[in-house]
Amino acid sequence: MKAVSLSSRNPKVYLYMIRTRIAPTPSGYLHLGNAFSFLLTALIARKEGGTILLRIDDIDAERTKQEYLTDIFESLEWLGIEWQEGPTGPDDFMQNWTQHKRLDLYQALLSQLREKQLLFACSCSRKKLESFKSTAYPGICENLNLPMEAADTAWRLKVPSDESITFQDRILGTVTFPLGQETGSFVVRKRDALPSYQLVSLADDTHFRINCVVRGEDLIPSTAMQLYMADQLNLTGFKRSEFYHHKLQRDESGQKLSKSAGAVSLQYMRTRGFGAEEVYTLFAEQFLNYSETRVTTFGQLETIFRST
């Protein structure tokens, strides 16, 4: 991370310039869990004097819908979250910021991995993979030398079975993830020939010089995969990033909230007349252990966050 001297008279005072991102996917209405993650990101950026990029992950175009894209901007405005870089609205996004404009960037990373002979073609169907109990790829195609350019073929990055990734997390401390056992060789280019989320996210974070990644604990495997890939590609910026993996907002039955499970959406809350104060107050209770008063503004939430 780049340290910038605040004052030439006092070289001991440094300001670490945090560059973080809010990275929603326009494949469903945003829910409370998304709101909590974005609020935490915004609060960290404000506290550290950093900047926020709005990065909308639309590489999976089939799942992208205009109404979900619009919902992202309406939700962030409703939550009082501001960003300094990225699209100003859905039209600006489609014209200037869609991930489909950066396909060359992703392709370049895939080519590098391929030149280093770190990839292999995998023709396993989803059904076939689901028949294995282990979450890790069982290595079926690894030594078959299948043609890379065949139709319906994914590309996987080779991961040794004893590979383990350790990183420092600002919330969890030292995290060790047994990558070889948990994911094994993972997909970097999908069967539809588009780059995978893991590759796209790493490429974008590198491209936009992100040095602070705030995400849910469910994405620890992603962080481990991306750190491993960054190592292979010598992307030192990502490796030196600060990571915050926060706990997940759960429903009454203890399940994590998800769009597919029909979690209560922010859009539903807005149309029923709830204000963002509902979200601030719940966030303060669940993430900051604060329940003295209702939290009615983002500024009030910021004050509470700074004192924790």
Shortest distance in whole angstroms from residue 280 CB to Zn ion: 46
Q: CB-wise, 56 or 124, nearer to Zn ion?
A: 124
Residue placing its CB nearer to Zn ion in the complex, 140 or 172: 140
Question: Which C-beta is closer to Zn ion: that of 122 or that of 295?
Answer: 122
Q: Shortest approach of Zn ion to residue 150 CB, angstroms?
A: 12
Reference 113, options 149, 155, 142, 151; nearest CA is 155
Among candidate residues 264, 205, 267, 217, the one with its CA nearest the CA of residue 65: 267
What residue ranges bind Zn ion (CB under 5 A)?
122, 124, 140-141
Least distance in angstroms from the C-beta of 123 to Zn ion: 6
* Identity of the residue, 154 or 194, whose beta carbon is nearer to Zn ion in the bound complex: 154
Q: How far apart are CA 93 and CA 68, in angstroms?
A: 13
Least distance in angstroms from the C-beta of 130 to Zn ion? 13
Considering beta carbons, is residue 190 or 247 the nearer one to Zn ion? 190
Percent helix, strand and coil across the chain, each to the nearest 5:
40, 15, 40
Distances 191 to 57, 83, 142, 153, 155 between C-alpha atoms, Å: 18, 34, 16, 5, 8
What is the smallest separation between the CB atom of 124 and Zn ion, expressed in angstroms? 3
Q: Quote the tokens at residue 301.
A: 């939430």
